[in-house]
Amino acid sequence: ELEDTYTVVRENAPDCLLIGNIGAPQLTLANKAVEILDADILAIHLNPLQESIQPEGDLDARGYLDMIGEITSSVDIPILAKETGCGISAESAEALVEAGVDYIDIEGAGGTSWAAVETYRAEDRYLGETFWDWGIPTAVSTAEVANTVDVPIISSGGIRSGLEAAKAIALGADAVGMALPFLKNATSQEQLNRFISRFNDSLRIAMFLVGANSIEELKESKLVIRGKTREWLNERGINTKNYSRR
């Protein structure tokens, strides 16, 4: 019944990279979603924290990895696995690549929090408040996954400027994603354009200052990782000196 609300995207944006989005148990929807959207990539979102906090949440995650494997082998376009605010660990990234996913969006902790969103919906705020900040921070998850698997990585979760995007790319991401800033700046077309051009300007300046002519060169720029991020990565066996002295 709501097919029109999806086909409208491709009709109005014939050339844009369009990513569809389903949950892991929605295998039967996968091909239909791709067809309706005319999507270039199909994302499978992982949201166990949100499901845990939602009163109507689905807590039976048995067989999810197998379902992801079935989707990757039955859908013709590339598959992106994405978290929704808790980050992807090295181990999860390996399992997802093994299941056949082509891209990973790590969406780490530090941006939109679904525990927080669900807290506002819940009658009892206790669970949402307890897990409000749960997850692997975006910078840590980006580095973990980039150091573990070879598939292209999108870094997201709290990215707000081109400078933060540059840092995510230097940590190993191939692209970044944002949601909340686009919603907040959608008050007018002018405001949206201003946000996008500020983002692009700050990314260009960061690249200029480190002497990077391309995203590939930005990936190779030296990065000094300090504080909690260094502590976390070192605890996980990632040598942060590889970023500062390569």
Contact predicate 224/186, CB 8 Å: no
Contact between 172 and ligand FMN by CB under 6 A: the answer reads no
Q: Kindly give, in sequence order, each residue whose CB lies less than 8 Å from that of residue 163, ignoring residues fewer than 6 positions away.
A: 202, 203, 205, 206
Tabulate helix, strand, coil % of the chain (nearest 5).
Answer: 50, 10, 40
Q: Which of residues 199-238 bind ligand FMN (CB under 6 A)?
A: none
Contact between 167 and ligand FMN by CB under 6 A: the answer reads no
Which residue, judged by CB position, is nearest to ligand FMN in the bound state? 111
d(CA 19, CA 78): 10
Our CA dihedral for 191, 178, 112, 109, rounded to 10 degrees, sits at -140
Position among 111, 128, 162, 172 found at the interface with ligand FMN (CB under 6 A): 111
Position among 37, 82, 162, 233 found at the interface with ligand FMN (CB under 6 A): 82
**Three-class SS state of 65:** helix
Nearer to ligand FMN by C-beta: 82 or 167? 82
Counting residues that bind ligand FMN (by CB under 6 A) gives 16
Nearer to ligand FMN by C-beta: 136 or 212? 136
Tell me the window of 24-32, 171-179, 195-203, 226-234 that interacts with ligand FMN (CB under 6 A): 171-179
Position among 72, 171, 177, 240 found at the interface with ligand FMN (CB under 6 A): 177
d(CA 206, CA 200): 10
Q: Kindly give, in sequence order, each residue whose CB lies less than 8 Å from that of residue 175, ignoring residues fewer than 6 positions away.
A: 152, 153, 154, 155, 169
Contact between 157 and ligand FMN by CB under 6 A: the answer reads yes
Contact between 108 and ligand FMN by CB under 6 A: the answer reads no
Contact between 107 and ligand FMN by CB under 6 A: the answer reads yes
**Beta partners for residue 137, in sequence order:** 109
Contact between 112 and ligand FMN by CB under 6 A: the answer reads yes
Q: Enumerate binding residues for ligand FMN (CB under 6 A).
A: 21, 45, 82, 84, 107, 111-112, 156-159, 177-180, 183
